[in-house]
Amino acid sequence: MKRISSALIVALAALSAGTVAPAMAQTSQQAPAKGSIQLADNAPDSHTVVKGDTLWGISSRFLKTPWRWPEVWKLNAEDIKNPHLIYPGQVIYLDRNNMTLSLKAPGDIVQPDGTIKLAPRIYDTAISGPITSLTLQNIQQFLVEPLVIDDPDPAGAGRVIGIQEDRVLAGPSETFFARGLAPDQPAWTVFRPGKPIRDPVDTKKILGYEAVLVANARVTTAEQPPVAAAMQVVTSKHEVTTGDRLLPSTKETVFAYAPHAAPENLHANIATIYGGVSQTGPYGVITINAGRDKGMEPGHVVALSRVLGKAVYRGAEGGEKAQEIPLPDERYGLAFVFRVFNKMSYALVLESSRSVIVGDKAGAP
């Protein structure tokens, strides 16, 4: 347990608000109209953040539409999408008069007008990480693995050229050789290009290529062209073989994006369901045929719906000429986007009243 001064925390938070982390800086932005946001049933006046909380869970405590959470924060609207200063022990306060949420520390005084008076104090607390958007056990592996590549042989990728002692495969702690590695990059991910991922609507359009994770490796002897680099397998899912590709390892980061609505003009579809299955449900992972090219970003919430087609109507007596009458799309669930590529995104299904299948629509909630 480390000792930290709350007065120092306040000072650092204030400094961050003006420079590094404006997400926590209060602004004078006007609160949304009272009728535009609906509070959840039995919404609390405040909630003390505890270990294990998620941004989605906290949002659901206060709002019937959790993805509208950023709209009611009395904070910087541009940066609240990544509220990385929300930690266990802090208190989220609901101002019912102005329909706004504010962040305060234990002991801060909420004034009648809704402002928060900071009272410097010293106390002991354990330093812990900020809360995350979702329960990470559902998406942890997807945050660090190179799931999708735009090209089966991406620029800047290294290549395995041989295995120690002329063997065919290399497993944990064993040595292999590679070339084309960027200098001063000690950790690498070994992957194998997989099948192309095609758009479910335009099947000729390739959204990207699966990148099958093979292993994680480290450089033991740096490459000195024309001499190849020597590398050691650290962990592996499959054995490394000649021809496998390498990309610099991705550092694991805290996934803390407040849920917010996907763009109003989003018209997308479910491209694949992770695991190669034909359908999924809550906490299943899906891909959507929209990525950075369509303005998608981590934290976006999308509504899932199904096209019901048309009904054939022949009149009350059945003798009239048949008419085909379009039926409205059936909305049945929500999904949370957690990783975005150029032309596609990965999302976690959070709510679903029916099975999720490839081709279903994904749009603004």
110-164 residue pLDDT tens: 666 656 565 554 444 445 677 888 888 778 778 777 678 888 888 889 999 999 9
Report the distance separating Cα 240 and Cα 225, nearest Å: 22
- Cis before 193 (ω within 30): no
**Are residues 334 and 301 in contact, defined by beta-carbon separation less than 8 angstroms?**
yes
pLDDT recorded at residue 154: 84
Residues found in the chain: 365
Report the number of distinct structural domains present in the chain: 3
| Same-domain check for residues 221 and 333 | no
Residue 10 has pLDDT above 50, yes or no: no
Query: Pairing relation of β-strands 175-179 and 300-306?
Result: unpaired
User: Where residue 107 falls among pLDDT bands split at 50, 70, 90?
Assistant: low
| Same-domain check for residues 88 and 11 | yes
Among 112, 137, 162, give the residue marking a domain's end.
137
**Are residues 289 and 271 in contact, defined by beta-carbon separation less than 8 angstroms?**
yes
pLDDT digits (tens, 9 = 90+) for 175-188: 999 999 999 899 99
User: Where residue 96 falls among pLDDT bands split at 50, 70, 90?
Assistant: confident
Report the distance separating Cα 28 and Cα 303, nearest Å: 31
pLDDT recorded at residue 137: 77
pLDDT recorded at residue 72: 83
| Same-domain check for residues 119 and 9 | yes
Among 137, 171, 204, give the residue marking a domain's end.
137
Look at 99-103, 229-233, 333-337 and tell me which has the smallest mean pLDDT. 99-103
| Same-domain check for residues 46 and 9 | yes
pLDDT recorded at residue 129: 72
| Same-domain check for residues 20 and 104 | yes
Query: Which residue shows structure tokens 């909420």?
Result: 110
Task: Quote the DSSP letter at residue 143.
Answer: H
pLDDT recorded at residue 81: 58
Residue 256 covered by a domain: no
| Same-domain check for residues 290 and 189 | no
| Same-domain check for residues 224 and 280 | no
Residue 254 covered by a domain: no
177: its two tokens: 């050789």
Residue 255 covered by a domain: no
- Which of 229 and 329 is assigned the larger pLDDT? 229
Residue 85 has pLDDT above 90, yes or no: no
Residue 261 has pLDDT above 70, yes or no: yes
**Are residues 155 and 77 in contact, defined by beta-carbon separation less than 8 angstroms?**
no
pLDDT recorded at residue 164: 95
pTM for the full predicted model? 0.75
- Which of 127 and 328 is assigned the larger pLDDT? 328
Tell me which amino acid residue 223 is: E
Look at 107-111, 132-136, 350-354 and tell me which has the smallest mean pLDDT. 107-111
| Same-domain check for residues 71 and 192 | no
Percent of the chain whose predicted confidence (pLDDT) is above 70: 78
Report the distance separating Cα 141 and Cα 187, nearest Å: 17
Report the distance separating Cα 11 and Cα 191, nearest Å: 45
- Which of 107 and 300 is assigned the larger pLDDT? 300
Percent of the chain whose predicted confidence (pLDDT) is above 90: 46
- Which of 356 and 92 is assigned the larger pLDDT? 356
Residue 181 covered by a domain: yes
- Domain of residue 312: give its range: 262-363
pLDDT recorded at residue 145: 74
Angle at 161 between CA 160 and CA 164, to 5 degrees: 95
Mean pLDDT of the chain: 80
190: its two tokens: 């070994």
Report the distance separating Cα 10 and Cα 328, nearest Å: 52
Residue 253 covered by a domain: no
> Which residue, 223, 240, 226, is CA-closest to 164?
240
**Are residues 71 and 81 in contact, defined by beta-carbon separation less than 8 angstroms?**
no
Distances (CA, A) of 18 to 11, 79, 82: 11, 12, 16
Distances (CA, A) of 151 to 128, 214, 245: 39, 17, 12
Residue 78 covered by a domain: yes
Residue 14 has pLDDT above 80, yes or no: no
pLDDT recorded at residue 114: 58
| CATH number of the domain bearing residue 302 | 2.40.10.410
Residue 280 has pLDDT above 80, yes or no: yes
Among 220, 248, 276, give the residue marking a domain's end.
248
| Same-domain check for residues 21 and 118 | yes
| Same-domain check for residues 269 and 212 | no
**What three-state secondary structure class fits 306?**
strand
- Other CB atoms closer than 10 Å to residue 236's CB: what's the count? 19
pLDDT recorded at residue 136: 80
Section 229-237 average pLDDT: 95
At residue 361, φ and ψ (nearest 5 deg) are -80, 150
Section 272-279 average pLDDT: 86
At residue 200, φ and ψ (nearest 5 deg) are -70, -20
| Same-domain check for residues 127 and 180 | no
| Same-domain check for residues 20 and 129 | yes
Section 244-262 average pLDDT: 85
Residue 255 has pLDDT above 90, yes or no: no
Residue 308 covered by a domain: yes
pLDDT recorded at residue 113: 65
Query: Which residue shows structure tokens 């404006």?
Result: 22
Look at 256-270, 281-295, 305-319 and tell me which has the smallest mean pLDDT. 305-319
> Which residue, 60, 34, 43, is CA-closest to 94?
43
Residue 79 has pLDDT above 80, yes or no: no
Q: Residues near 347 by Cβ (< 8 Å), separated by ≥ 6?
A: 285, 286, 287, 288, 302, 335, 336, 337, 338, 362
Tell me which amino acid residue 311 is: A
Distances (CA, A) of 10 to 13, 25, 102: 5, 12, 15
